Structures are given as structure tokens and as C-alpha cells.
Amino acid sequence: MVQKADKLFINAHVLCMDDDFNRYEKGAVAVTGDHIQGVGNMDQLTKEYQAPEVIDCKGKILMPGLVDAHTHVPMNLLRGLGDDLRLDVWLLGFIMPVEREFVSPEFVHLGTSLACAELIRSGVTSFADMYYFEDQVAEATAAAGLRAICCQTILKFPSPDADSFEEALAASETMIKKWKGHPLITPAVAPHAAYTSTVDILGSATALAQKYDVPLHIHIAETSQEVEDCLDEFDMPVVPYLEQFDVFNAKVIAAHCVHIDEREMHKLERYGVGVAHNPTSNLKLSSGIAKIPRMLELGLNVGIGTDGVSSNNDLDMFEEIRLAALLAKGSSGDPTAVPARTAIAMASSMGAKSIHLGDQTGSLEVGKKADLILVNIDTLHNSPHY
């Protein structure tokens, strides 16, 4: 029997990015409401489905929308500020004072809208954000029609939207209650990093994430300095330090993890922590190169992030995918490290798992959200291709 769908995308090279990496050279996708109803060969699908709207994809690649696993979208308004500084000088001496002076709800809404336009341009349909006035990030993102994990930042010192951590924590809970269950927005909490948190912050942010079953987003071991300071002060590296406060019992998205050792990787894998790898940001701020091939070997879900525009200068996810593959090859001495398929998975199916949205997006499968992009591969700089 012929089934009804809302939209039928036909004549596409369908790249599913599911567990079996299915692809259909002359494929089609049926969509009803906001979810995928059918995926397969065009000949078969056009017999099975009828839709009032049929979109001819003209041989372009139809694939899952990309997932930006770590960013700070309002920072689009700070592009180019404080280039060529090391991370601690850049963040604590430059960016944070600028933010305390200028960041307001209007700033956040405007910056998010601009970032959403840039993200759409590079094929991103989902992202994990960490910033201030996160309610405004959620508002602007939902208005743009993108999917996001919106994580309210908590710091041990005054921030643009809170004079104390208690205030930031209360704002996080208010935002979580407001947005929980929204079709596009997943509210969450973000103790910024171990070195910008207190024991109280780590404990209460974890309790909040667990209470509402929402993700917890945190920067981990971004620089060697962070690890050295943690070793000096607490006699242990960053991951075991955070483990003491049960942080990993929440659904954690760990940004960077540039300087974690083998034991820390095993721990993160055991807890089901998602890692967000940020190649450009780690290079621009001279943070180092994360050991991504080893993390993948151990079975960690590693996503790719742009980080904020201030530590990147753009939100081009295809550039990040390419860099993730090349960095892994160049730093490991192994040209087979992070092949193209893995790099794309890190920005789609595995990327979605890394931000704990794997059940909703990241691959073209029946029942998942219809987060679709079309990629034109017949451009001058890509012709001919094999």
C-alpha cells in the first residue's frame, strides 16, 4: 500500500551515516512532520510513498545536518578580538573583562542569530553551546530553526549575567524548567572548567544535571598549564580531580581533552563521556593536539567543534572536519588515522552521540529528526572527483 508523507526528497546521493554507513547513489528520503519516515533507493521509495511536495535533489549529496559539538555562539560579535594571545592571557585578561563590560541579553540574542546564519551556511543543524544569558541563545536558536544544547555557564567569579555562582545556578534551573521538552532546545548546565569552578559549583551543577536528566558541558584539560596547576594543587590530573565530585555521573560533554593521559581516556570511556575535539581553536591558542586516534580506538564518542568565533575566527564545520583528519594523520605519523568516513561521522552520527543527542539526530534513519543538508559536489574546486 502507498503511504503518505509530507515531503519526498528524490534523485539524491543519500549518505545515511548510520552504523552500517548505508548509502544510496540514486536515493530518496521521505519526511513527515519533523521526522524521517523512509530512506532508501529512489525507485523503491517512490513506489512506497506519495507526498504533496517532491524535491528533486539533482544528484547532490543528501546527508545528516552536521553537529558542532562545542561552541559559544554569541562570541560571533567578538570575531578577531584578541588574536595571537595564549589562552590564559586571552581568556582571563582579555575576553572575560570585555564580556563583563559588553555582554547583555541583546548582545547574546544578536550574536546567536548571526552565528546561526553562519552555521546554516556550513551545513550545521545542531550544536552544543556554552555561554551567558543562555535563555537568549535558546530563543534565537529556536527562531532560526536549529537544534541546540544550550548550557548556562557557572563560574566562581562574577560573570555578565550573575554576581555569584548561586545566582548562576538558580538561572540555570529556571532555564532548564522553561525549555525542557522543547522540540529543538535541550537546556543544560555548564560549570565552565575545573579551574574556574569551586567544589561547591561542581557538586551542585552535577546534582542539577542529574535532577533534570540534562547534559553537563565543561572544558577539560585544554592546556598543559591547566594540568600542571591541577597536579600542583591537588596532586592529580583533571579527570580524576573531577571524578571525586561525581561530575561524570551526569551526561557530560567534555570540550578539548587535549592533555589527558591513557588512564583518563579509559575513565571517560567508562562513564560514557562525549569528547568535543576543537582542531582550529587548539591550534590558534597553541593548546596542543588531542590524541584523537587513541580516543577513537578506545571507543570514546568524539565529536568535532568549532569552539567560539573568538578562538577560531569562523564557524566553518567542513574546515574543522578536514583539519581533524589532517591533524590526526600529521601528529600520529599514521596516514590511515581518521579516514574521511570517520571524520564525517565525528561531525554527524558520532558527533550527535558525543553531545547526547544520538537518539534524535546525526544519521538518516527512520524515526530520527529530519535534520537534512544538501551538498553540491559539482563545484569547480571539486571537479573531477573520485
Site size with Zn ion, rule: CB under 5 A: 1
Report the nearest approach of Zn ion to the CB of residue 308 (Å). 6
What does the alpha-carbon distance between residue 46 and residue 61 come to, in Å, rounded to a whole number? 18
Q: Which stretch binds Zn ion (CB under 5 A): 94-102, 300-308, 321-329, 360-368?
A: 300-308
- Between 40 and 305, CB nearer to Zn ion: 305
Closest to Zn ion by CB, 46 vs 311, is: 311
Q: How far is the CB of 70 from Zn ion (least distance, A)?
A: 6
CA distance 163 to 168: 8
Q: How far is the CB of 219 from Zn ion (least distance, A)?
A: 6
* Residue 186 φ then ψ, to 5°: -110, 110
Task: Assess contact for 124 and 154: CB atoms under 8 A.
Answer: no
Q: Which stretch in 3-11, 17-25, 39-47, 301-309 sits in contact with Zn ion by CB under 5 A? A: 301-309
Instruction: Report which residue's Cβ sits closest to Zn ion.
Output: 307
Nearer to Zn ion, 29 or 238 (CB): 238
Choose one: 161-169, 283-291, 302-310, 353-361; the region binding Zn ion (CB under 5 A): 302-310
Q: How close are the terminal C-alpha atoms of the chain, in Å? A: 39
For the CB of residue 82, give the shortest distance to Zn ion in the complex, in Å: 14
Please say which residue, 161 or 307, places its beta carbon nearer to Zn ion: 307
Can you tell me whether residue 296 is helix, strand or coil?
helix
- As given in the structure block, the three cell numbers for residue 374 are 544538501
Quick one: cell of 344? 564525517
Considering the complex, state which of residue 305 and residue 358 has its C-beta at the smaller distance from Zn ion: 305
Nearest residue to 265 (alpha-carbon basis) of 293, 295, 291 = 295
- Least Å distance, CB 281 to Zn ion, is 7
For Zn ion, the closer CB: 24 or 127: 127
Do the beta carbons of residue 31 and residue 37 sit within 8 Å? yes
The answer to whether 186 touches 214, Cβ cutoff 8 Å, is yes
User: Which of these ranges, 41-49, 239-247, 304-312, 372-380, lies near Zn ion under the rule CB under 5 A?
Assistant: 304-312
Helix crossing, 105-121 with 134-144: angle to 10°? 40
User: 125 or 306: whose CB is closer to Zn ion?
Assistant: 306
What mask of x and - would describe binding to Zn ion in positions 248 to 267, judged by CB under 5 A?
Answer: --------------------
CB–CB of 45/373 below 8 Å? no
The x, y and z cell numbers of residue 93, run together, are 585578561
- Residue in the block written with cell 571524578: 243
In the chain, % helix, strand, coil (3-state, to 5) comes to 45, 25, 30
320 binds Zn ion (CB under 5 A): no
Which CB sits closer to Zn ion, 118 or 307? Answer: 307
3-state secondary structure of 144: helix
Q: Which is nearer to Zn ion, 45 or 108 (CB)?
A: 108
Q: What is the DSSP string of 203-239?
A: HHHHHHHHHHT-EEEEEES-SHHHHHHHHHHHSS-HH
Q: Would you give the binding string for Zn ion spanning residues 112-151, x where CB under 5 A is met?
A: ----------------------------------------
Among 118, 135, 139, 307, binds Zn ion (CB under 5 A): 307
Residue type, 1: M
**Piece of the chain touching Zn ion by CB under 5 A; list 175-183, 199-207, 307-315, 343-351:** 307-315
Q: Which is nearer to Zn ion, 306 or 363 (CB)?
A: 306
Least distance in angstroms from the C-beta of 90 to Zn ion: 12
Per-residue CA distances from 108 to 78, 113, 114, 216 (Å):
11, 9, 10, 21
- Residues forming contacts to Zn ion in the complex (CB under 5 A) are 307
